[in-house]
């Protein structure tokens, strides 16, 4: 290792079976399995550069051009764990592990607005650090220490994060259900409804729901296991109707859990609900399910649909929301690999 800068680009992933609730706050171990699709980096991605140098006095980080504190525990955990792996794997000389690092990261989309910015950000950071320290083993469990959903952005295509059962989190890792070439017609359309920072962070929301929501307990025990198996099957069989139905039901249940928490909290806005109604109307008129919506911890919609449906849906959306058409972004195509070195 020398003072080389390592730069990595990482994609956003949008869950179709949502992760919501932790069984271990520090190790970021989820209550349930989750499933997501990894989007193309050409539209939404994080970009991170890392560099270690014997002359750096401190570890330092810049996010979207602004210097931030390095005291963030999750950030420190990721760096510590990568260095530990490098030490175990003997991938570099020990002396390099004592050098301080500088990290520079940016997103090309709104941060913390429910657009999976932390997933791309931590997947990117951990991959860049793994390249710097020449770590070769699976890093999804380290990305998980930054932000749970980040472990899914380490892989492309359709990805499942296994909740695992081990108390140390060693089996809480992401695996690929199918790579991007499996269902090349699949598209994601991101509708940016609002780009302000969410009021309730996912960490606070998950804790409140785990502490107070009866529905979350029911969801984890009775709904998610079957949905996860069924959607994996629908993906493998390229059954869009089934895939879409499960995706929408799971998004709705996640937002119902937010309302079932005490005090309740809400991420969806009137525009989000207009989009939900529009999708159901569109499917009803089509006589089959051709679009699915899903919403993370924010008002922005991700629509999953097949390629031949995109022009019609794009013009419909622009017709209904003419003034905000410049805010709509298409996240098309799935990547072969989750992460790219620039
Ligand atoms: O990984 P976090 O803490 O950003 O939580 C992500 C939670 C959801 O985006 C709402 C669901 C998911 O599985 O990505």
- Same domain? 148 vs 191: no
Q: How far apart are CA 186 and CA 276, in angstroms?
A: 20
Q: Is 34 in the pocket of ligand 1 (CB under 6 A)?
A: yes
- Same domain? 149 vs 227: no
> Cβ(103)–Cβ(66) under 8 Å?
no
- Same domain? 116 vs 147: yes
| pLDDT exceeds 50 at position 335 | no
Q: What spacing in Å lies between the alpha carbon of 84 and ligand 1's midpoint?
A: 26
- Same domain? 210 vs 169: no
* DSSP letter (8 states) at residue 197: P
Q: How many domains does the chain have?
A: 2
pLDDT, position 48: 95
pLDDT, position 115: 64
- Same domain? 108 vs 166: yes
**Ligand 1 pocket test: which of 143, 148, 295, 300 has the largest number of ligand atoms within 8 Å of its C-beta?**
148
Phi–psi pair at 167, nearest 5 degrees: -60, -25
Q: How far apart are CA 145 and CA 141, in angstroms?
A: 7
Q: Is 247 in the pocket of ligand 1 (CB under 6 A)?
A: no
| pLDDT exceeds 60 at position 325 | no
Q: How far apart are CA 232 and CA 129, in angstroms?
A: 31
Q: What spacing in Å lies between the alpha carbon of 18 and ligand 1's midpoint?
A: 7
- Same domain? 260 vs 319: yes
> Cβ(253)–Cβ(219) under 8 Å?
yes
Q: What spacing in Å lies between the alpha carbon of 299 and ligand 1's midpoint?
A: 14
Q: Is 40 in the pocket of ligand 1 (CB under 6 A)?
A: no
Q: Is 49 in the pocket of ligand 1 (CB under 6 A)?
A: no
What is the CATH number for 200?
Answer: 3.30.70.890
Q: What average pLDDT does range 311-324 have in this prediction? A: 82
Q: How far apart are CA 76 and CA 71, in angstroms?
A: 7
pLDDT in tens, 89-138: 999 999 999 999 999 999 886 554 556 667 889 999 999 999 999 999 88
Evaluate whether residue 337 is within a structural domain. no
pLDDT, position 330: 47
Q: What spacing in Å lies between the alpha carbon of 92 and ligand 1's midpoint?
A: 34
What is the CATH number for 173?
Answer: 3.30.230.10
- Same domain? 60 vs 134: yes
Residue 10: helix, strand or coil by DSSP?
strand
Q: Please provide the average confidence, as pLDDT, over all residues in the chain.
A: 90
């Amino acid at each position: 290792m020398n003072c080389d800068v390592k730069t990595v680009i990482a994609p956003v992933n949008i869950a179709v079976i949502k992760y919501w609730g932790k069984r271990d706050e520090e190790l970021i171990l989820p209550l349930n399995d989750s499933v997501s699709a990894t989007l193309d980096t050409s539209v939404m991605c994080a970009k991170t550069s890392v560099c270690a140098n014997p002359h750096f006095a401190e570890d330092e980080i810049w996010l979207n051009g602004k210097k931030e504190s390095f005291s963030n525990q999750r950030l420190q955990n990721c760096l510590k764990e990568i260095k530990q792996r490098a030490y175990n794997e003997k991938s570099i000389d020990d002396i390099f592990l004592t050098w301080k690092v500088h990290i520079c990261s940016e997103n090309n989309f709104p941060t913390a607005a429910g657009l999976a910015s932390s997933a791309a950000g931590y997947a990117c950071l951990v991959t860049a650090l793994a390249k710097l320290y020449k770590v070769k083993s699976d890093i999804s469990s380290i990305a998980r220490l930054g932000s749970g959903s980040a472990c899914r952005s380490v892989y492309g295509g359709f990805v499942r994060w296994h909740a695992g059962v081990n108390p140390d989190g060693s089996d809480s890792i992401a695996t690929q259900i199918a790579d991007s070439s499996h269902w090349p017609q699949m598209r994601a359309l991101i509708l940016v409804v609002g780009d302000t920072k969410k009021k309730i962070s996912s960490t606070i929301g998950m804790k409140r729901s785990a502490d107070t929501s009866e529905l979350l307990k029911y969801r984890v025990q009775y709904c998610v296991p079957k949905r996860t198996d069924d959607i994996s099957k629908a993906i493998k069989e390229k059954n869009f109707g089934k895939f879409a139905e499960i995706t929408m039901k799971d998004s709705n249940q996640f937002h119902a859990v937010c309302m079932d928490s005490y005090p309740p909290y809400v991420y969806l806005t009137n525009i989000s609900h207009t989009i939900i109604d529009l999708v159901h109307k569109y499917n009803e008129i089509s006589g089959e399910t051709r679009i699915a919506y899903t919403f993370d911890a924010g008002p922005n919609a991700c629509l999953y649909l097949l390629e031949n449906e995109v022009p019609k849906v794009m013009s419909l959306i622009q017709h209904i929301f003419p003034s905000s058409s410049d805010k709509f972004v298409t996240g098309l195509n799935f990547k072969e690999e989750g992460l790219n070195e620039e």
